[in-house]
Amino acid sequence: MVPFLAKFYNLDRRWLYLAMVVILSVPVIVQIPLPPGATSATTQGLYDLVESCPEDKVILIDSSWDAGSASENRAELECVIRHICRKKIKFVVTSAGVTVFGPEFANQVIEPIAREAGYVYGEDWINLGYKVAPGSIGLLIDAICKDLHSVYPTDYRGTFVSEFPVMDRVKSYKDFAFVYCVTYQPDNAWISFVKGQFDVPVAFGCMTIAAPGYYTFIDSKQLAGMLIGNRGAAEYEELNHKPGLGRILIMATSFGNLMIILAAVVGNLGFYAARALERNARGGTAR
């Protein structure tokens, strides 16, 4: 048994990589019918925010992600947009200071859903585009909250926002129902400025790996809700009664996580077996 296990010590890493590729691909190709589990309080918090959104308010969505974090951020944006469109709430999309590709990736997700829901660009929603942060992202967020029109005089295509009716309804933080920031790791400045200074609820959609840093703000009620990676998106899709990308990708994450645990177990078994063999070879005295 020990000599067999010792073989795992010097396993060619390419086998592990191949196993990872297979295990991540299968759940995407073949749908595995595993329920996403109980809805977490963080997901429910965001869902309740959309449900209780007043008719005269507009939701500000900061969609600042691109191909690098699309694996989780896309599903997080998709499920919330689907819910917003079902509720017929108007929304404004920004990409504040993270990636220049933000507006185009947001459009790829929003346009088909908005079209399906009968939303008209400029009347029901608008994409204001990317804005570079002047010095710090906090100052940009502060400026967005105080005077959205001065920060964004045009939309992402360069058309003046004064030409779009939806922008007549939204001038400053007073018109925001809440702010939903979807990115790899949302900046704490959203909490400091939007919630702290203007008392507008804030919700995040972040990568699972970044989530532990925000539990402290959930606990203090400074964050009203949070979608934690694909798990959060899958839970939200369950609440929406419309399974989607999150449900598919959380399965890949499930098996990927299992694979990482197995790799650690195999690595340790191989290491200790190889050490035992070496000790036996030296007469059982050396360590």
Partner 1 sequence: MATRRLIVKLLTLVAGLFFILEFLMPGNRPGWFDSLPAPLRGILEFLIRGNDQNFLSPLVPAANTILMVVSAMAFLLGPISLVRSHLARIVRRQPGVFYSITFLVFLVFGVVATAVEKVESLKLLYNVAFYGFGLALGATSMAILAFYLMSAAYRAFRLNNLDAGVMMGSAVIVLLGLVPLGDYLTHALPEWLQLGFWAKKILEVPNVAVQRAVLIGAVAGAFAAGLRQWLGLGKVVE
Binding site for partner 1 (CB under 8 A): 11, 13, 16-17, 20, 24, 34-38, 40, 66-71, 100-101, 132, 134-135, 139-140, 142-143, 146-147, 150, 172, 197, 208, 211-213, 215-216, 219, 228, 231, 234, 250-251, 253-261, 263-264, 266-268, 271
Give the C-alpha distances (Å, rounded to integers) separating 279 from 42, 254, 276, 282, 283.
51, 38, 5, 5, 6
Q: How far is the CB of 37 from partner 1 (least distance, A)?
A: 4
Q: How far is the CB of 16 from partner 1 (least distance, A)?
A: 5
Complex with partner 1: residue 117 or 266, whichever CB lies closer? 266
Complex with partner 1: residue 50 or 186, whichever CB lies closer? 186
Complex with partner 1: residue 142 or 155, whichever CB lies closer? 142
Q: How far is the CB of 129 from partner 1 (least distance, A)?
A: 14
How distant is the alpha carbon of residue 218 from its chain centre? 16
Q: How far is the CB of 147 from partner 1 (least distance, A)?
A: 7
Q: How far is the CB of 248 from partner 1 (least distance, A)?
A: 12
Complex with partner 1: residue 124 or 187, whichever CB lies closer? 187
By C-alpha distance, which of 71, 80, 82 is closest to 46?
80
Complex with partner 1: residue 105 or 119, whichever CB lies closer? 105
Q: What are phi and psi of 207, to 5 degrees?
A: -70, 150
Complex with partner 1: residue 70 or 117, whichever CB lies closer? 70
Complex with partner 1: residue 3 or 37, whichever CB lies closer? 37
Q: What are phi and psi of 220, to 5 degrees?
A: -85, 0
User: What are the tokens at 225?
Assistant: 């809700």
Q: How far is the CB of 209 from partner 1 (least distance, A)?
A: 9
Give the C-alpha distances (Å, rounded to integers) separating 212 from 184, 185, 217, 262, 266.
13, 11, 10, 23, 27
Tell me if 234 sits within 8 A of 246, measured CB to CB. yes
By C-alpha distance, which of 49, 58, 50 is closest to 165?
58
Q: How far is the CB of 71 from partner 1 (least distance, A)?
A: 8
